[in-house]
Amino acid sequence: MTTTAPSGRRLNTSKAMAEAIAQEMRANPEVFYMGEDVGSYGGIFGSTGGLLEEFGPERIIDTPISETAFIGLGIGAATEGMRPIVELMFVDFMGVCLDQIYNHMAKIHFESGGNVKVPMVLTTAVGGGYSDGAQHSQCLWGTFAHLPGMKIVVPSNPADAKGLMTAAIRDDNPVVYMFHKGVMGLPWMAKNARSIGVVPEGEHVVPIGKAAIVKQGSDVTVVTLSLSVHHALDVAEQLEGEGISVEVLDLRSLVPLDREAILESVGRTGRLVVVDEDYQSFGLSGEVIATVAERGLALKAAPSRVAMPDAPIPYAQVLEYAVLPRHERIEAAIREVMG
Amino acid sequence: MTTTAPSGRRLNTSKAMAEAIAQEMRANPEVFYMGEDVGSYGGIFGSTGGLLEEFGPERIIDTPISETAFIGLGIGAATEGMRPIVELMFVDFMGVCLDQIYNHMAKIHFESGGNVKVPMVLTTAVGGGYSDGAQHSQCLWGTFAHLPGMKIVVPSNPADAKGLMTAAIRDDNPVVYMFHKGVMGLPWMAKNARSIGVVPEGEHVVPIGKAAIVKQGSDVTVVTLSLSVHHALDVAEQLEGEGISVEVLDLRSLVPLDREAILESVGRTGRLVVVDEDYQSFGLSGEVIATVAERGLALKAAPSRVAMPDAPIPYAQVLEYAVLPRHERIEAAIREVMG
Amino acid sequence: MTTVTDAPVPEPTETGVGHQLADEVRLDLYRTMVLARTYELAILREYHADKGPGFDIGKGLIPGEMHLAAGQEPVAAGVCAHLVPGDAVTATHRPHHFAIAHGVDLDKMTAEIFGRETGLGRGRGGHMHLFDPDAHFSCSGIIAEGYPPALGQAFAFKRRGSGNIAVAVTGEGAANQGAFHESLNLAAVWKLPVLFVVEDNEWGISVPRTASTAVPSNADRAAGYGIPGHRVEDNDVDAVYEKAGEFIERARRGEGPALLEVATLRLFGHFEGDAQGYRPELVDVPKLDAIPRYESRLIEAGVLDDALRQEIAEAASERVEAAITFAKDSPLPSADEATKYVFTEEA
Amino acid sequence: MTTVTDAPVPEPTETGVGHQLADEVRLDLYRTMVLARTYELAILREYHADKGPGFDIGKGLIPGEMHLAAGQEPVAAGVCAHLVPGDAVTATHRPHHFAIAHGVDLDKMTAEIFGRETGLGRGRGGHMHLFDPDAHFSCSGIIAEGYPPALGQAFAFKRRGSGNIAVAVTGEGAANQGAFHESLNLAAVWKLPVLFVVEDNEWGISVPRTASTAVPSNADRAAGYGIPGHRVEDNDVDAVYEKAGEFIERARRGEGPALLEVATLRLFGHFEGDAQGYRPELVDVPKLDAIPRYESRLIEAGVLDDALRQEIAEAASERVEAAITFAKDSPLPSADEATKYVFTEEA
Ligand SMILES: Cc1ncc(C[n+]2csc(CCOP(=O)(O)OP(=O)(O)O)c2C)c(N)n1
Ligand SMILES: Cc1ncc(C[n+]2csc(CCOP(=O)(O)OP(=O)(O)O)c2C)c(N)n1
Ligand SMILES: [Mg+2]
Ligand SMILES: [Mg+2]
C-alpha cells in the first residue's frame, strides 16, 4: 500500500496525522478540517499543527463550542460532495452531539437506500493516563462501534496514523478516527517510545479493516489496540526472555472488525488475552471473546480480558493507574492463561 | 418480595408501570414524574396513564422538548434529595441528551466520592417491530450498559414492570428503566399474549440485578430480555413438543448483570443462545457469551446469538422483520446448537 | 469564514406588486397547497385503509407513525415558491408539504412511504426519512436535528459560489431544543445562506406552545443571533411568500441567515391515532383551515373561479393517485437485502 | 409549575448606598477576590513545582489539566456575596473562584485537587469535579452542562419553599452550546429561581468571542426567553455586585431567572501549559488585572490602606497555605478502592 519505501524519516503521531491531512487537502479542494481550536492552536492534541499556515482559515476552521451544529454542518457538506474532517476535541464530549453522529452521519446512507453518501471523517481524542478525570479520559470506542453505519479506526503508531487518515479521508463512508492522546508523541505528555517512528513520506494508505500482527508469537495472542498495543509489546518483549512467546495483534479498526485475523492468530496460539482501555462490559473485549467462542475455537485456557473496570475513571493518579490496563495487569493475565 | 399474594387481577404492562409510580408517589412526596407528553396525554406509550388526574400538574409534569435541560433538571433535583422519574420518550433520542445521562447522572456519585447521591429514574421506550424506522426503533441497552454508573432494568412483563419500577424509585442510584413498546400491551399496537398478566396489588418489589428463569429446560439456555423473552418462550413451548427442552432466562437487568444466573443455567444445559433485539456487535450478546467463555465453561456446542444485525433498522416491514430477532431465527439458532 | 460570497445571485423570483401578489403567484401558491392537501388526504385514506380491526399502528401497506401536515401548507408553499434548482430543504418528521412544495419526486416519495424498492430510500427510510439528492431534500425524525445539516449544505453552496440557499424547517416545539440555538448562532457567525423556518402550529404533540416556550414569538429570538426575524400571523400564505422572498434574496446576496416563524394550524392529530383529548375546541379546528379561506379570497379577487378550482383539484388528484398507483405497483424490497446500504459498495 | 413560591424570602443582604456600595461590602468583595487569587497563585506554584524536566501534564502532586480563574475573581465575588446558606452554585471547568466565594470547604477542596482521600470527592473527582453538598456546590468539565442541574436544584428549592436560589455559571464560549438555550428557556417557562452567569473572558481556549458568538453581548439573548439580561463591562466587581443583587432578589421573590454577563479577564492561559500564541498583546494582559485596580480605588476612597491590605493578604495566605498543608499531609486513596463509589453501598 506504500508507494514510497519507508525512509528513515521519523515523525510523531500527531505530525504523521497532520501530514496525511495536508497531502489529501493538497490533492482535493473539497477536503477541509473543522473543529474547536484546530486553527491557530493547531489542535489541542496537535492534530492540525501547521495546517492553518498552509491552508488558511477557509479550510482549517475554528468553530464555536457548538458540536451539534458543526458536526451536523459537516454532515450536510458531505452530502453535497465535500469531504469534511470534523474534530470532536475529546470523545468524552460525544454526549452533546451524538444524535448528529449516530442518527444522521451514520444512518443517512442506509435510510436513503444508498442514494446519499456521507464521506466525512470525525476525528476525536481518546484515553487517559494523565489524571484528566472521569469526563476527559474515556475511550468509548465500544460505544461508537456498537452503533451501526460508521467505520471506526484507532491507530496506535505514526505510520498507521498517516495511512489510516489517508484511507479515512478517501472513504465514501463516515469514518470515526480515534487517536489516543498517549500515542500522539506530544511534547507535554509522557511519551511511549513508539509514538515517534518511521513514516512513509509520500502517499501512504493503510486499508481500513485490516488488523496487524505487530509482534509474532506462538503461545498466546494479545488482541489490543491504540495505546495498549505498546503496553502489550513491552510486556511481550519482557516475557520473551522467559520463553513465553506472545503474539500482539493491533486491531487498528473496530468497524469493520478483522475477525479473521483474530481467529487466525488465536487458532494458532490457542490462548487469548484482550487488552482494552475502554470500559470492560458490553464492549470490545466481550466482542472479541465472543467472536472466538461462537466459532467454537478450541482454546488451551479460558480467554481473559484486561480492561477498564465498569467504573468512572478516577482522578487521583494512584487510583487511575490501578484501573488502567497497564503492564502489570497485562502480564498477570498472560501468565494466568499460560497456566 | 411480594407482600400481597398475587391475585387474579390482570393488568397490561403500561398500567402496571403506572401503578407502581402512583403507589410510590402516594408514599413519598419527593417523587415526581417529568417528560414530554406525560401529563394529559398520559405518556406516548401509556407510562403515566391516569397519573395527572390523581397527582396534578405539579407532580406529573409536561416539559418542553429540551431533553438536556429537563434530564439535567432531574439530576439537580435528585442531588437535593428529590426522587425524580424522568422520561426520555424514545431511547433513540439519547443523542441529544446523553451528556447529562452518562457524564453527570451516572458519574456524580463516584466523582463526589460517594458524598452526593442521584436517586433518579430515567424511563425510556425501546424497540421496534412496527415500522417506525431507523430513528425510532432501537433498543440501545448495550450502549447504556457499557457506560458505568447507572443501573439498567428491562422488564418483560406486567408484574416485573411494577416490581422493577418500585425498586428503581427506591434505589439511591440512578436507574435507567427501559420498556419495550411491544410489551406494554397498548391498544394500538399488536400485543403479545403476555403483555397482560397478573400483577400483585399492593407493594411489589422485584430486586434489581436478579435474572429470572421464566421457563425451565435442560438442553439449551436462551438468555434474553424484554420483548424477546416472549418470542423465546413461544419457540421453547413449540420445541418442547419435539423433545427439545429449552430454558429461558429473562435477564431483567443489564446492570448489574446476573452473571451467576447465566453461568448456573448454561452450566446445567451446556448450550447457549443469546437473543437480543439490540445491535449484535459490541453489546449485550457478546458480553453474555464472553461471560461464559471467560469462566471456561465447557459447552456441548459453540454459543450462538440472534440479534439485530449491525445495520440501521429498515422501515419496510419485509425488511424490518428480516432483521428482528424473531421466532424463526431463534428456532434456527436453537436447532443449530442442538446439532 | 466571514468573507461574503461573490456567487452569482439567481434572478429574484417574481414578487408581488405592492401588497398584492401577482395573480399567477397566488395561483401557484394555491396549486401547491392543493396538491399537498390532496396528497395527504390520499395518504390518510391509504394509511387507515388496512389498520383494522381496531387500529394497529404496525399493520397495513403504510405501517408506522404517520405525521400529516394538513393545515400547514401555507408555510411550505410560501417558502418554496422562491427556491430554484440546487436549493436545499431539510424538513421534519412532518415533511410531506415541504417535499411536495420543493418538488421532490412524488412517485419515489410515495413508493418510500409504501416501503417499496422504487422508493427514495428503497424502503429503508420511511416517511420521516425522505432523501432526494436531486432536490437536495432531506428530513429527520429527531426534533431540531435537521437544522445542522442544512448549515452544511449552505456552507457547500457558499464555498462553490452557486448562489443557492438552504431552508431548514422545525416546529415551534423544536425551537426549544439545543440544536436550534447552536445552528442559528453558527449560521449567523459564518453568514451562511440559510432560511430558518419555524412552523408554529401551537402544539408539540400535546404540549401547548405556552407551556414550552418562554416567548410569544420565536422571531424574538433572532435578535439573540443578530439576524432578522419575523413572524407571520394567521397562516397567511401571501405574507409567508413575501417575507420568505425577502429573507431568501438577502441570503442569496450573502447577507446571512434569517428566521421566519409562521403561525399555522395542525388540522389533525400529532400523528394518526392521536385522539387529541388534550386539545380544546377540537370541533372548531376545521373552520380555521387556510385552504378554503385562501380559496375564497382568490375567488373574491377574481383570480380563481369554480372551473379553475375544479381543474386544479382534478389535476392534483390525478397526480396524487398516479403516485399512489406507482407505489402500490412497485416491488417490495427483498428480505435478503435488509442490511444492504449500511456502507457504500466497495469499488 | 407556574405558581409563584410563597417561600419566606431571606433578608436582602446589605446593598450599596446610592451608587456607592457600603465600605464593608467593598472590603468583603476585596477580601474574597484576594483569597481566590492567593489560592490560585499557590495552586499555580504547586502545580508547576514538579512537572519537569520540561512540562509533563501527568506528573506531580497535582497532575492533569489545570484551569485557573485568575483575573475573573470579580464575577465570583460580586455574585456570591448575595448567597445565603442553602443557595446553590454550579460552576465550570474553571471553578476555584466560585468555590471559594461560595464558601466551599477549602481544605477538602485542596485535598481533592491533590487527589487525596480527604478531598471533596476522595480523590475521585479532581479540580473539574468538585462537589460540596454542604455548600450545594458542584462543577462540570463539560461546557454548559452545568446549567441544567442548577435548574433542578432551583426546582427543589421552589418546591420546598426554602427561598433559596441557584447560580449557574458558564463562559462566553459555552453560551453557544445547546444546553445554554434549553436551560434558559426551561427556567423561564417554569419561573425557576436561577441566576445565569456568563463569564466573558473573550476567549474559548484560542477562539475569540467574535469568532464564536453572533452578538456582542449575551445579555441580548435574555430577551429570547423573556427574562432580564444585563452585561457588566470592565470586570467591575461593584457593578457585578449591584446587578447580581437585583437579579437574585428578584429570583427569591419568585419572579424567575435572569442572565448576567460580565466582561472579565483571563489572566493566564486556558490551562496551564497553554503558550497562548494565538493571543495578541499578551504583555498588556497583566495591566488589566482587576484586583490591583480595585485596590487603588479602595485606597483612593479611603476604604483600604496599606496596613489593612497587608493584613488581608496575610490572612489569605495563611488560610491558603494551611489548606495546601492539609492536602499534602492527607493520605492518598487506596488503590484497592479505585472502583469504590460507583454505586451507593447497599444497606
Ligand atoms: C429530540 C426529540 N425529542 C422528542 C421527539 C418526539 N417528538 C416527535 S414530534 C414532537 C413534537 C414536535 O413539536 P413541534 O416541533 O412543534 O412540531 P410539530 O409536531 O408540531 O410539527 C416530539 C416531542 C423527537 N422526535 N426528537
Ligand atoms: C461540550 C464541550 N466541548 C468542548 C469542551 C472543551 N473545552 C473546555 S473549556 C473550553 C473553552 C470554554 O470557553 P468558555 O466557555 O468561554 O470558558 P473559559 O474557558 O473561557 O472560562 C472548551 C472548548 C468541553 N469541555 N465540553
Ligand atoms: Mg408544533
Ligand atoms: Mg471564555
Rounded Cα–Cα distance for residues A333 and A312 (Å): 22
Would you state the pLDDT for residue C287? 96
| Cα-to-chain-centroid distance, residue D346 | 35
Quote the CA–CA distance of B206 and B163 in Å, as a whole number: 4
Instruction: Answer whether B290's CB lies under 8 Å from A292's CB.
Output: no
Facing D141 at nearest CB: one of A133, A316, A318: A133
Ligand 2 atom 21, closest CA: D171
Q: Which domains does chain D have, with CATH numbers?
A: 23-274+282-328 (3.40.50.970)
Nearest to C235 by CA among C294, C174, C152: C294
Range C342-346 contact pairs with CB under 8 angstroms and sequence separation of 24 or more: C342/A109, C342/A110, C342/A148, C342/A149, C342/B310, C342/B311, C342/B312, C343/A109, C343/A149, C343/A151, C343/A173, C344/A109, C344/A114, C344/A117, C344/A172, C344/A173, C345/A114
Residues 6+ apart with CB under 8 A from B135: A103, A107, B92, C128, C129, C140, C141, C142
Give the Cα separation of A274 and A292 in Å (integer).
Answer: 11
CA distance B234 to B244: 13
Q: Which residues of chain D have pLDDT under 70?
A: 1-19, 346-347
Choice among B136, B204, B230, B231 that is catalytic: B136
User: Chain centroid to CA D338: how far?
Assistant: 29
Q: Which residues contact D16 (CB under 8 A, 6 or more apart)?
A: D22, D25, D238, D241, D242
Amino acid at B271: R
Distance D247 CA to ligand 4 centre (A): 22
Q: Which of B273, D306, C285, B110 is nearest to A314 (CA)?
A: B110
Tell me the domain boundaries of chain A: 10-199, 212-338
Q: What's the Cα-to-Cα distance from B268 to each of A2, B337, C152, rounded to whole Å?
A: 53, 15, 57
Tens-of-pLDDT digits for all 339 residues of chain A? 444 445 689 999 999 999 999 999 999 999 999 999 999 999 999 999 999 999 999 999 999 999 999 999 999 999 999 999 999 999 999 999 999 999 999 999 999 999 999 999 999 999 999 999 999 999 999 999 999 999 999 999 999 999 999 999 999 999 999 999 999 999 999 888 899 999 999 999 999 999 999 999 999 999 999 999 999 999 999 999 999 999 999 999 999 999 999 999 999 999 999 999 999 999 999 999 999 999 999 999 999 999 999 999 999 999 999 999 999 999 999 999 999
Substitution site in A34, A41, A65 for ligand 2 pocket (most atoms within 8 Å of beta carbon): A65
- DSSP H helices, chain A, are 13-27, 51-55, 67-79, 98, 108-111, 141-146, 158-170, 227-240, 259-269, 284-294, 317-323, 327-338
Which residues crowd ion ligand 3, with CB under 5 Å?
C 171-173, 201, 203-204
Closest CA to C137 of C165, C102, C161: C102
CB C65 within 8 A of CB C98: no
Q: Are A120 and A105 spatial neighbours (Cβ–Cβ below 8 Å)? A: yes
- Which residue of chain C comes nearest to A75, CA vs CA? C149
From the number of C-beta atoms within 10 Å of its C-beta (0-12, 13-18, 19+), residue A40 rates as middle
Per-residue model confidence as pLDDT tens digits over D42-56: 999 999 999 999 999
Q: A133 to chain C, minimum CA–CA distance in Å?
A: 26
Give me the amino acid identity at A37: D
Architecture, CATH, for domain B212-338:
3-Layer(aba) Sandwich (3.40)
Alpha helices in D190-266 (DSSP H): 209-212, 237-252
Distance B173 CA to ligand 4 centre (A): 34
Measured over the CA atoms of residue A140, residue A70, residue B65 and residue D261, the dihedral's sign is positive
Per residue of chain C (347 residues), what is the pLDDT tens digit?
A: 333 334 444 444 444 434 689 999 999 999 999 999 999 999 999 999 999 999 999 999 999 999 999 999 999 999 999 999 999 999 999 999 999 999 999 999 999 999 999 999 999 999 999 999 999 999 999 999 999 999 999 999 999 999 999 999 999 999 999 999 999 999 999 999 999 999 999 999 999 999 999 999 999 999 999 999 999 999 999 999 999 999 999 999 999 999 999 999 999 999 999 999 999 989 999 999 999 999 999 999 999 999 999 999 999 999 999 999 999 999 999 999 999 999 998 65
Chosen from B52, B318, B326 to mutate, greatest number of chain C CBs within 10 A: B318
The single residue of A109, A136, A180, A231 carrying the catalytic annotation is A136
Specify which residues A250 forms β-bridges with: A212, A224
**CA B57 from chain center: how many Å?**
27
Which residues of chain C make contact with A113, given a CB cutoff of 8 A?
Answer: 119-125, 341
pTM of the prediction?
Answer: 0.97
Nearest to C141 among B36, B44, B136 (CB): B136
Contact C15, C249 (CB under 8 A): no
* Smallest CA separation from ligand 2 atom 12, residue: D204
- CATH domain A10-199 topology: Rossmann fold (3.40.50)
- Topology match between the domains B10-199 and B212-338: yes
| Subunits adjacent to chain A (3 or more Cβ pairs under 8 Å) | B, C, D
- How far apart are the CA of C26 and the nearest CA of chain A, in angstroms? 32
Atom of ligand 2 nearest to the CA of D209: 16
Strands C88-91, A10-12: pairing is unpaired
| Contact predicate A119/A172, CB 8 Å | yes
* Interface touch D189/C211, C-beta < 8 Å: yes
Name chain B contacts of C65, Cβ cutoff 8 Å.
132, 136
Nearest to D64 among A93, A132, A319 (CB): A132
Q: How far apart are CA D73 and CA D81, in angstroms?
A: 12
Note if B327 is an active site residue. Answer: no
Give one DSSP letter per residue of C291-332, joined into a string: HHHHHHHHHHTTS--HHHHHHHHHHHHHHHHHHHHHHHHSPP
CB D196 within 8 A of CB D257: yes
Nearest chain B residue to A106 by CA distance is: B312
Residues (pLDDT < 70) of chain B are 1-7
